[in-house]
Amino acid sequence: MRALRRALSACSLLAVGASVAAGPARPASVVVPARLGAQFRYWSFSDRNDNRNPLVYWVPGPFHVQLEVWDFVRGEDQFRPELGVHLRDRRRSSYTAEWRHERDAERITLATEPVLSEHWVGRASVAPILERDATPVVWMAGADFYWRSYDFVSVNVVRDPRGDDLWAVPMRLRLATEADDWVQLAVVPASRRTLGWAADAKLRWLRLGIERNQRYDFSTRDNLIVTAGVEAAIPRAGP
């Protein structure tokens, strides 16, 4: 989620353009609490070079911090720190600048999620990846439709020149309670007849998820990702 993003990354790679820590935009009337979380994600790849992926994140409000490790069965492991700044205007439209270190590259993401109306939130991002010999750019645009405070459907279009050079269309449905417990389903049709899907849930402090991807995002390998984690809302200091 990302996903899921990334991805959303979220992270989760089904939620590309939406950090696993930052989450989706919400209507202007909703106050998003600070969050602290940790997850373990196991990536089972078709070539058996699996990835053991622990991560922790902290989202106090105007910024988020995420620390992540990719521990492969074979090959070079990666430490992937991430820092994002999230600003909001009076309508609670959001504007994000994010940096993430990815092995031998630096990924810079600039994103906005404008509140278009009572029910609609737009979404757009551009993410140049500064590599040694090239600078591929990942583009994303889409929208969320809310019919209650936390229930929404989301459709995005992602252009990622890496891997198999795919166009992907992540589509998500989230059903949630006012306490922010939720179930989310996603499907990701993509060019070259590939398809990904995901199911995620949050129940109080517990986070669970499963994803299936066909040559989506950075990789040309099919993969299955299983996620388990915890997440807690942190009361904000106030008068």
Which domain CATH number covers 228? 2.40.160.40
Residue of 160, 141, 143 lying closest to 152 (CA atoms): 143
Which of 98, 131, 135, 134 lies closest to 113, judged by CA? 98
Contact 14, 24 (CB under 8 A): no
pLDDT of residue 20: 43
Buried b (16+ CB within 10 A) or exposed e, 167-187: ebebbbebebeeebebebebe
Residue 8 maps to a domain: no
CA separation for the pair 76, 130 (Å, rounded) = 19
Q: Is 1 inside any structural domain?
A: no
Q: Find the domain containing 206 and state its range.
A: 13-25+34-234
Asked if residue 118 belongs to a domain, the reply is: yes
Q: What's the total number of domains in the chain?
A: 1
Listed in sequence order, the residues at least 6 apart from 69 whose beta carbon sits closer than 8 Å to its beta carbon are 53, 54, 55, 77, 78, 79, 80
Q: Tens of pLDDT along 99-138?
A: 999 988 999 999 999 999 989 999 999 999 999 899 999 9
3-state secondary structure (DSSP) of residue 106: strand
With 0-12 / 13-18 / 19 or more C-beta atoms within 10 angstroms meaning exposed / middle / buried, residue 80 is middle
Q: Which helix (H) or strand (E) element contains residue 142?
A: strand 137-146
Task: Answer yes or no: is 3 within a domain.
Answer: no
pLDDT for position 206 = 97
Look over the chain and give the mean of its residue pLDDT values, rounded to a whole number.
84
Q: Are 211 and 225 in contact (CB under 8 A)?
A: yes
H or E stretch covering 138: strand 137-146
Domain assignment present for residue 40? The answer is: yes
**Average of pLDDT values for 51-80?**
93
Residue 58: Cβ within 10 Å count: 16
pLDDT of 9 strictly over 60: no
- Could you list the beta-strand ranges (E) of 169-237: 171-176, 182-190, 194-203, 206-213, 223-234
pLDDT band at 217 (very low <50, low <70, confident <90, very high): low
65 within domain boundaries:
yes
- DSSP conformation letters of 126-138: EEEEE-SS---EE
- Is pLDDT of 61 > 70? yes
Q: Does residue 94 lie within any of the structural domains?
A: yes
Question: Is it the case that residue 200 has pLDDT exceeding 90?
Answer: yes
Give pTM, 2 decimals: 0.81
Residue 157 has pLDDT above 90, yes or no: yes
Considering the domain boundaries, does residue 239 fall inside one?
A: no
Residue with tokens 């008068």: 239
Please compute the mean of the pLDDT values over residues 198-222 and round it to a whole number.
85
Euclidean distance between CA atoms 117 and 37, whole angstroms = 31
Q: What span, in angstroms and rounded, lies between the C-alpha atoms of 184 and 163?
A: 27
